[in-house]
Structure 1
């Protein structure tokens, strides 16, 4: 009976170790800023709201960056943008913290239409599927009746 218990413990340990190894292999590779082919900074101001956006473009077409949203009467949102352009539209995921609560992160899909030198943040219907939010397939994203139109600004280190 002792041998069976030791065997089960050994199999469990091996299983847990293999899960741990799989997790580390699936970790997203953080791209180095030095590898970016371009860096662009934008700002959108609407009434009392100010949004700052910094985008890095990489050779493979991936866009990484960060965005800070200071919206009137709301805690500041600070986070990362990751996405890619499909035609003239940047589809991205915004992972952010709100206010001083660094323990809880939020993740929202975003779509930015590139029109001239501006980026226009679109409004679309979002649904939650298995804990992940995404735009509803087949529903249009509105880029006309919007609050936030980002204009290029100088990047500040």
Structure 2
């Protein structure tokens, strides 16, 4: 009788260990499938915003409207500088941290031109336009070396309401 009890106990332990092993394997397979599926469906939410800025000094004015979605940036940029030709056009580029790097496609004197623009948004909420040495590359004016750009307070865009 004792051997029957031992035999039944041994069969019970074997059955229990097989069941636990299967449950554990099913659980790990399910976790792996869920993890694999979420890597394809989960996405980083893109932030989007639209802001307007203006520059006014004496008889010079400029306006900047930017639309940001994630790191992509589009908008309008217009310059009306005293005794200079008016420039009006669009910008398209990207926002990297506090820096805007974009191409400015504009019309001036009946001609369409493209030049690189770089702006920095500072803690004060204003946007400072960068300037530096430029060169022509592929029919566009680009900065020779962005690391040497100066962001002098000469052209500071302050936030304003979008009309």
TM-score (norm 1): 0.68
Aligned partner of 2:119 in structure 1 is: 112
Residues in 2 aligned to 1:138 and 1:77: alpha-carbon distance in whole angstroms: 23
- Unpaired runs of 5+ residues, structure 1, are 1-34
Q: Are 2:61 and 2:80, in contact at CA under 8 Å, matched by a contact in 1?
A: yes
Q: How does 1:59-74 map to 2 (within 5 A)?
A: 59=70, 61-74=71-84
Residues in 2 aligned to 1:85 and 1:92: alpha-carbon distance in whole angstroms: 9
Aligned partner of 1:43 in structure 2 is: 54
Superposed structure 1 runs of 4+ greater than 6 Å apart: none
Q: Are 1:36 and 1:56, in contact at CA under 8 Å, matched by a contact in 2?
A: no
Residues in 1 aligned to 2:107 and 2:116: alpha-carbon distance in whole angstroms: 15
1:150 aligns with 2:157: yes
Aligned partner of 2:130 in structure 1 is: 122
User: How many angstroms does 1:109 deviate by?
Assistant: 0.8
Aligned partner of 1:86 in structure 2 is: 96
**Counting helix residues as a fraction of each chain, which structure ranks higher?**
2
1:7-51, Cα deviation, whole Å (9 max, x unpaired): xxxxxxxxxxxxxxxxxxxxxxxxxxxx98211000011221100
TM-score (norm 2): 0.66
Larger radius of gyration: 2
Label 1:36 to 1:75 Cα distance change in 2 as closer, same or farther (>3 A).
farther
Residues in 2 aligned to 1:64 and 1:142: alpha-carbon distance in whole angstroms: 23
User: How many angstroms does 1:147 deviate by?
Assistant: 1.8
Q: Are 2:89 and 2:105, in contact at CA under 8 Å, matched by a contact in 1?
A: yes
Q: Are 1:125 and 1:139, in contact at CA under 8 Å, matched by a contact in 2?
A: no
Residues in 2 aligned to 1:110 and 1:138: alpha-carbon distance in whole angstroms: 10
Label 1:107 to 1:138 Cα distance change in 2 as closer, same or farther (>3 A).
closer
User: How many angstroms does 1:124 deviate by?
Assistant: 1.3
